[in-house]
Structure 1
Amino acid sequence: MDDAHEDVGRRVHRLRTARGLTQRDLAEPNYTAGYVSSVESGRRTPSGDALRHFAARLGVSEDELALGRPVDPAIELEFALVEAMATGTGFATVAQNAAAVGDPRRQAWALLASLNLRTDSPAGRLTDQADRLRRLDTAARLLAGEPLPDRIPLVLARADQATTEYAIHLLEKAREELSAGGHLDPDARYAVHSSLAARYLQAGADDRAAEAAGEALALAGPGDPVAVGAGHLAAARALLAARRVTDAAVALGQARSAYRRAALLPALAACFRARGRRLRTTGDLSSAAADLTRARQVYGDAEEALDVCVDLAEVHRRQGHHAAARALLLESLTDHPHPLADPAGAPPLYVVRAYRELGLVALDQGDEVEAETRLRDAVTLAARRNARHELARAVGALGDLLTARNRLSDAAEALKSGLLHLERILHAE
């Protein structure tokens, strides 16, 4: 019988007897002779762990034992790459093996994936800047001449190393090339649009961020990409064990796509945030709250989640949910409970925004004393941070409050002081 048409049990039996091993020899120390007998007779299908154990004892690869022949090197490399993406380890080995068999794309993808690890991954984020640049240069050389969708991981890695302005230039150029070339690859388009939304938000270009976010979210798949990737990877293993190599390759491609999207979760959060801000502006507060809540969830423990708390608090305040708004604002200040205590300190921008929002919440609830205190604090913090837009908003809100209380001289003094701060900031810029 041809090796490729044997079932696993018969193959185990043939290889075992050819090597002069008893069932007990093959089984120990992890299994029993009875288990080996049940596998060889076809009454049981060996688990993945058992298959690995038997392959090691018989001196063959796991794939050869499962399929009766070695797997195509491209499939083996794809498995190794996807498993590295799933675990955050093993990229160097994948790159070396890809180089050995002449697979420049997977070699480059392994190098680039190693640059995009989350800081909480098993391997951690690569911090040696010189090494990062070497890997980028090598990947660029390996991907030269490849179709643009295959080069998108390189574009993202370069943008990750660039200033916000230059990153936007790189991503906009990629977007234009994808459009001009008629590339419909949804993963490439999603990666570019979601990354652009994140960068536009950093640049304060909220309208452009919302447009890019809309494009990206239309391409975003359902569910957690990590879970989706794990599901496709498990399916690929099962398909390969059943000798359905073509179907296994498709499942691996889907797994790789999902894990690449998992690396873009911060960009996905930025998309929800950008769209939520746009919806807030148009007055669709319920939809805005839903998007901002989703952004906060996707950001997880990242500092950006605290910034989103302030966005969401503003929506809740405008909906009249003052208790919820106040709770979110206090949560955003967890890491900076006393920002005014350091006269030279420049807190994050979301802290300034949180103080202004706390003032507006107090004002809506009729506590004008607390509202004035919070708004004056927001002015002070905005001036320290040279945040001219937030300074203008805080000064405007404070001036309106004082004017409404008929404290016209205090309002004029607040506006005068604010203008002096703005003049200083503009002069410094």
Structure 2
Amino acid sequence: MSGTATGAGSTAEIGRRVLKLRTERGFTQRMLAEPAYTAAYVSTLEAGKVRPSEAALRHLAERLGVSYDELATGRSPHDATRLRAALTDARRALATGAAEDAAGLFEDVRAEAERLGFAEERASALLGLGDCALETGELTLARDHFEAVERLLAAEPLPRRVPAIRGRAVAHLLAGELRYSCYLLESAIDELNASGLHDPYALLLLYTAAIAPYMDMGAHARAVRAAELALALAPSVDDPGLIARMHRGVARTLIAEGRTAEADASLAKAQELYEQLRIHTDLAHCHWMRGYVHAQDGNLERAERELRTARDMLASKRAALFTGQVEVELADVLRRRGRAAEAEALLLPLLTRSSVTGPTTDAADEVNESAQADEPAQADEPDEPDEAGLTADRGAVHAGGAHRLLGLIADERGDVEAAEEHYCAALSLLERTGAAGDLADLCRLLGDLLRREGRLEAAMDAYRTGLGHRAAPGTTTLGPAPAEPPM
């Protein structure tokens, strides 16, 4: 127990608590002290001039009718229950309302838990603050909160820290740092398996989270294996929200394999669970992905309807980053439906702050000087959650997708210069992320454009670069796959 002059366990605070409780109960100092101690000792203690021993505190606590822990720390047995109820309210607010409102509730719990010395409740509040920051697109703040959880729980077993590790990996994924996101998740999986801590909940959380960066990097085999392991772990986990998230991840791998009917069925399961749990953000993500499934199937009318539903739900929760990402996919559907002007009007506001430093592919080097001049690098700017803008460090994959779509629109209307600039901007953004499949597609588009313009050498360089990304997607930047748990 600390002997510092401040804090709930300090000598002065203990003295004040003894004085307050004694006065409330109508005891004199002598009545409280006897038979083991003197009135003078109680007077000195109440003045904060002496720190009571454990034996003295236990005697005083018994006489005052409180627990030893309450007298020593200021925490009543009801405090933990009250804080946990407040955490439940904050999580409900995050699920059904705006993240900024939920963050205020989580911050109140965090401050109170810190004041009272409740480490577990403080960690839960910080985890909630991290989830709020993810939703609002404040990715640096989200990482700070998740790292604080890991520090607070450093002495705890790894499964206790896994939700924070997963949160940090998602923040890096949303920032476009796909390799590092994979590294965090795979390292945690390996550590769990190497230490024999085969916690089904922790492993399911990690495997489910790994699917998205694997898919974005083009590491489809790893994504499929992660989905298989997640499905095998699911019967051992009693958490409907996590099971629903797993079904969403599995659906991504099914879409990539062309199994759209199965993907839609998996999303339907997730959607049913989210509706029961009233988790609005994740429900919006289900509509988002179902829109993507319908777009892959060529059912553009249904795709547009689902994507608009997702966008409206996310916008109502002020989830700016996710709203912007959905709008990129909605714009793709609008372009394919022959409404290029609507698509362009949706995309341009998203890129007012996008950062481009210039692609590194040989083919793009020839044509990127003008794009660099028009769109200066802004990678070091802080997150601005009130805007839905997509930047190199905030939604980089979708920022690249937006430039790709604008390039296609410009190309279709014969504006070769604008198309070239947008393709180069997209390449610059995506090369940082390692999104192999998207990079290969962009190199093909750029190569086709350059070839039509008669710039054959530059076109060949673009094609070669694209083939390099296609050759072994994901394997050149990822190490060995993590060990698998015993099933």
Q: How does the TM-score come out when normalised to structure 2?
A: 0.46
Pairwise CA distance, 1:273 = 3.0
Alpha-carbon distance change, 107 to 214 in structure 1, aligned in 2, over 3 angstroms? same
1:133 to 130, 146, 150: 150
Kept in 2, the 8 Å contact 1:190–1:220? The answer is yes
Structure 1 window deviating more from structure 2 (309-318 vs 131-140): it is 131-140
Q: Is the contact made by 1:353 and 1:378 (CA closer than 8 Å) also made in structure 2?
A: no
Q: Determine if contact 2:444/2:463 at 8 Å carries over to the other structure.
A: no
Task: Give 3-state SS (helix, strand or coil) of 1:90's partner.
Answer: helix
Q: Tell me the distance in 2 between the aligned counterparts of 1:333 and 1:401.
A: 23
CA distance in structure 1 between the aligned counterparts of 2:127 and 2:417, rounded to whole angstroms: 50
Q: CA deviation at 1:335?
A: 1.8
Cα distance change, pair 193–375 in 1 and its aligned pair in 2 (3 A)? same
Check 1:106–1:178 CA distance in 2 against 1; reply closer, same or farther (3 A cut).
Answer: farther
The alpha-carbon deviation at position 99 of structure 1 amounts to: 7.7
Hey, what does 2:343 align to over in structure 1? Answer: 325
Matches within 5 A, 1:16-415: 76-83=82-89, 85=91, 86=102, 87-92=105-110, 95=113, 109-110=124-125, 112-118=127-133, 127=144, 131-137=148-154, 155-162=162-169, 163-165=180-182, 166-167=184-185, 170=203, 171=205, 175-176=230-231, 179-181=234-236, 183=237, 185-190=239-244, 192-193=246-247, 196=249, 213-221=267-275, 261=279, 265=281, 267-297=282-312, 298=314, 300=318, 302-336=320-354, 340-342=371-373, 345=377, 347=392, 348-362=396-410, 364=412, 367-368=413-414, 370=415, 372-385=416-429, 386=431, 389-397=437-445, 407=452, 410=454, 412-413=456-457, 415=459
* Equivalent residues of 1:115, 1:132 under 8 A apart: no
- 1:220-252 Cα distance to aligned partner (Å, 9 max, x none): 127xxxxxxxxxxxxxxxxxxxxxxxxxxxxxx
Tell me the distance in 1 between the aligned counterparts of 2:422 and 2:168. Answer: 33
Q: Distance in 1 between matches of 2:207 and 2:467?
A: 37
Is the CA contact (8 Å cut-off) linking 1:317 and 1:325 kept in structure 2?
Answer: yes
Stretches of structure 1 that go unaligned for 5 or more consecutive residues are: 1-69, 145-150, 223-256
Judged with a 3 Å threshold, the aligned counterparts in structure 2 of structure 1 residues 99 and 278 are, in CA distance, closer, same or farther, namely: same
Identify if the C-alpha distance between structure 1 residues 414 and 301 changes in structure 2 by more than 3 Å, giving closer, same or farther: farther
Relative distance call for 1:109 and 1:289 in structure 2 (3 A) is same
- Offset at residue 280 of structure 1 (A): 0.7
CA contact (8 A) 1:108 1:139 kept: no
Q: Structure 2 vs 1, CA of residues 184 and 349 (structure 1 numbering), >3 Å: closer, same or farther?
A: closer
Unaligned segments of structure 2, at least 5 residues? 1-75, 92-101, 170-179, 190-202, 209-229, 358-370, 380-391, 478-487
SS of 1:320's partner is: coil
Report the counterpart of residue 247 of structure 1 in structure 2.
none
Counterparts of 2:447 and 2:336, CA distance in 1: 20
Cα distance in 2 for residues equivalent to 1:352 and 1:111: 32
CA contact (8 A) 1:108 1:138 kept: no
Residue type of the alignment partner of 2:133? R
| Contact map agreement 1:399 1:411 (CA 8 A) in 2 | no
Task: Please tell me the root mean square deviation across aligned C-alpha atoms, in Å.
Answer: 4.8
The 1-side partners of 2:274 and 2:207 are apart by 21
Aligned residues: 293
Assess, with a 3 A threshold, how the Cα gap between structure 1 residues 304 and 219 changes in structure 2: closer, same or farther: same
Query: What is the letter of the counterpart of residue 161 of structure 1?
Result: R
The TM-score, its normalising length taken from structure 1, stands at 0.52
- Cα 1:274–1:137 change in 2 (3 A) is farther
Alpha-carbon separation, structure 1, partners of 2:116 and 2:244:
27
Distance 1:158 1:309 in 2: 29
Q: Which amino acid aligns with 2:144?
A: T
Identity %: 26
